Structure 1
Amino acid sequence: MNSCCDFLQRLGADLSFKIFTYLDDPSDLVHVCLVTSSWRQFVIENSLSKQLCLRLFPDLSGAPHFIEVKGMIDVSAVGSSSITKWEHLQKFHRIYLLLAKSLNPVTRTDCIAVAIGASSTDNNPIESIENTLEPGDRFRNRASYWSSLGSRDPDVPETLTYGLVSNLCVVSEIHIQPFLAYFQDEFPIYSSRAVRFKMGHQNVSIYSSINDSTVDYDPETDDFIWTYVSPEFPMTQENTLQIFKLPEPVFCVGGVLQVELLGRVQRQAADGLYYLCVCHVEVVGRPLLPEYDMDIIDQSGKGILKYFPNLHESSSTNGQISHSHGRAITSRFVRRGVHGWEHIVWHTLLGGGVFAQDDGIDIYEEGAGR
């Protein structure tokens, strides 16, 4: 394009900026960057990809802090010999394009894909954590709930650990329903005094080979790295689905969420011990689109964002994936280990793998046979 026909110069920066903010698809912004080098520079210098991403996903307003502070972009390095301001802006631009392209526009209330394990279980498997995946307190005409082992100490905590449908999920709420024992005298409710939530990923260093998808997962011995710990929330003695809204949406990096049940309230009359019982857990969040996923590439936890174009054709029109498909994907990645989002983005931006161009964004494209 000849400079005399370049409306950026004719209209000026303010009006050009306003026009570009009407773009509502990240691919459109990529196409703008391909017109001329001056247009690309204008988009990057004015952080238009960030503004587009936050318009599409207002719940990601906390992302700038996460991206700029927690390793994804080292602001302190700008102006140093290791990174220039322009390189900083380019990486910033590409991170937000990746987020805008890969996150599901539909908020889901079924982000749990698999129950990883509980800290204890009474009467296993009848009262296992698997029961918490079913809505309500009954399933197929029988009681459906998880129960801890009994304890004489009411302060003994318990944990329930889950794998989410995606290795990256922006979580906004967790819902928990305590269990009312309708088959016991006086219908006791075995809730905790408070709850707390942890999010993170499995420590991949425990594996001798992270590429071995047949490795079994043992929640009693394998460690997790928690990148987020919520405040404590009080829980009421009610047999209802209680909503715990996080102070702000949180990036669950690695697809593992743990519910901490803090303190016991109810004794069982039969043995005088304190128990905790939960009949249902839900996670409200925004995962990656079905055609995107993340994969580990080395023991340090570095990873790449992968694109599976064939999954887009088979997924439903509203961006949902089947529960069984979500469980299969999550189980595979939980067994193999998961990794930090900052490593995914850094590796994607800095190269060091086999990448294909998808509308100008470097991602790895999986073949149809994978």
Structure 2
Amino acid sequence: MFPWLHRVDRVIEPNCCVKNSSEVGCSKSVEWETLEREHRVYAFLARGCTLFARREDCIAGALSASSTDNYPEESIRNTLEPHDRVLRRASYWSSKGQSNPAVPETLTYKLVADICVITEISVRPFQAFFQWGSPIYSAKSVRFRMGHPKAPVDDPMGEPCDNFADDNFVWTYTSPEFAMAQENRLQKFELPEPVLCIGGILQVELLGRVQKQEMDGLFYICVSHVQVVGRPLSPPFSVEILEPSGKFVLKASSYTPPLLAENGSCPGPNAYFEGPARDLEQILHLLRGEGVVVEYDWNEEDELDDEMAL
């Protein structure tokens, strides 16, 4: 399911601390405590990937565009708006013009959580209703990449920039290429399987140009809106990237599911952990996508709590 978890270096949970040698005791006891801790964290993670609230607004802010024709009027920030007109003005991002229609463009975003499960991404090309013929400046196809920055990025609420080099990011997932229609509508692209984005960075690759602008004869790509659907796993979970290895520390800061806990109808923490610690290996196989089908033995009270939560 999530092969990216093979890069987990270690797991930390609330009140987890490193004991000194006088407190450790025998190695078997330490190993058992580690297994129990990992069992709790991975069991909660497995449930969270399907039970945490699904959101259709998983973008926190715009980081950069590979180019922008007229800034700030045609900034990538406009793609955060769901409508192509705001206060009677067109709202969209536009690339710079190119004579070569094969030149690609990229839009890079910060997601709402450093660790989240992404299932689908939608892109709406922009139709220039103020130009003769109302041309639609779509791309030929799109592709998506997810990963993490090599160093902390600026506040996504700050000013986005152009040409934020790909060297600043480590891409851990690249989707297949999806054909885009030259139509003014929100076009949904479902990923082949849910993707665990570790690091909270999403990049939209716009491949190929189809529309020339009449006044200068150059090809442009314009986008009015980008939408990302998924399940943020924060604040219960967070990650710490360990460079240059690319591994990360998985931290469980609490065992309270986000959002759903506000109405008091969520399962209690014990509902996520009950079951023998030997099931940790099965949970790990499932999450890491190693081809093992697991039917986890949740008790009847868990099922009842789940129904109440829905």
Query: Which category of TM-score, normalised to the shorter sequence, fits these structures?
Result: 0.5 to 0.7
Higher strand share: 2
- Structure 2 Cα separation of the partners of residues 167 and 86 of structure 1: 29
1:143 and 2:90 aligned: yes
Kept in 2: contact 1:73–1:91 (CA 8 A): no
State the one-letter code of the partner of 2:7: G
Kept in 1: contact 2:113–2:233 (CA 8 A): yes
**How much does 1:73 deviate?**
8.4
Tell me the residue number matched to 1:247: 192
**How much does 1:97 deviate?**
2.2
1:182 and 2:129 aligned: yes
1:49-101 Cα offsets, whole Å, 9 max, x none, are xxxxxxxxxxxxx13x443xx33489xxxxxxxxxx98996576344224147
Tell me the residue number matched to 2:240: 296
What runs of 5+ residues in structure 2 fail to find an aligned partner? 11-30, 266-283, 285-310
Change (3 A) 1:156 1:132: same
- Structure 2 Cα separation of the partners of residues 149 and 260 of structure 1: 15
Change (3 A) 1:217 1:102: farther
1:99 and 2:35 aligned: no
The one of 253, 258, 261 equivalent to 1:307 is 253
1:167 and 2:114 aligned: yes
- Structure 2 Cα separation of the partners of residues 230 and 306 of structure 1: 28
Kept in 2: contact 1:102–1:292 (CA 8 A): no
Tell me the residue number matched to 1:236: 181
Moved over 6 A (4+): 85-89, 215-218, 308-315
Give the superposed CA RMSD: 3.7
Tell me the residue number matched to 2:300: none
Change (3 A) 1:253 1:313: closer
How many residue pairs get aligned? The number is 239
**How much does 1:288 deviate?**
1.4
Tell me the residue number matched to 2:7: 71
Q: SS of the residue aligned with 2:45?
A: helix
Change (3 A) 1:183 1:274: same
Q: What is the aligned-residue identity percentage?
A: 50
Tell me the residue number matched to 2:16: none
Bigger relative CO (Cα 8 Å, ≥ 6 apart)? 2
- Structure 1 Cα separation of the partners of residues 260 and 112 of structure 2: 17
1:126 and 2:100 aligned: no
Change (3 A) 1:309 1:90: closer
What runs of 5+ residues in structure 1 fail to find an aligned partner? 1-61, 75-84, 320-341, 343-370
1:193-241 Cα offsets, whole Å, 9 max, x none, are 000000000013xx7xx9xxxx999662461000000000000000000
1:281-321 Cα offsets, whole Å, 9 max, x none, are 000101114x33525386556445253799979985499xx
- Structure 2 Cα separation of the partners of residues 312 and 182 of structure 1: 42
- Structure 2 Cα separation of the partners of residues 297 and 182 of structure 1: 45
Change (3 A) 1:96 1:154: same
Kept in 2: contact 1:193–1:235 (CA 8 A): yes
Change (3 A) 1:91 1:247: farther
- Structure 2 Cα separation of the partners of residues 167 and 152 of structure 1: 38
Kept in 2: contact 1:166–1:293 (CA 8 A): no
Change (3 A) 1:153 1:295: same
The one of 96, 100, 104 equivalent to 1:157 is 104
1:128-147 Cα offsets, whole Å, 9 max, x none, are 00000000211121100000
**How much does 1:117 deviate?**
0.7
Q: SS of the residue aligned with 1:99?
A: helix
Change (3 A) 1:307 1:193: same
- Structure 1 Cα separation of the partners of residues 259 and 40 of structure 2: 25
Within a 5 Å distance, the mapping from 1:1-370 to structure 2 comes to: 62-63=1-2, 65-67=3-5, 70-72=6-8, 93-100=39-46, 105-204=52-151, 220-221=164-165, 223-289=168-234, 291-294=235-238, 296=240, 299-300=243-244, 302-305=248-251, 307=253, 317=263
Structure number, greater radius of gyration: 1
Q: SS of the residue aligned with 2:211?
A: coil
Change (3 A) 1:113 1:297: closer
Change (3 A) 1:148 1:114: same
- Structure 1 Cα separation of the partners of residues 9 and 206 of structure 2: 35
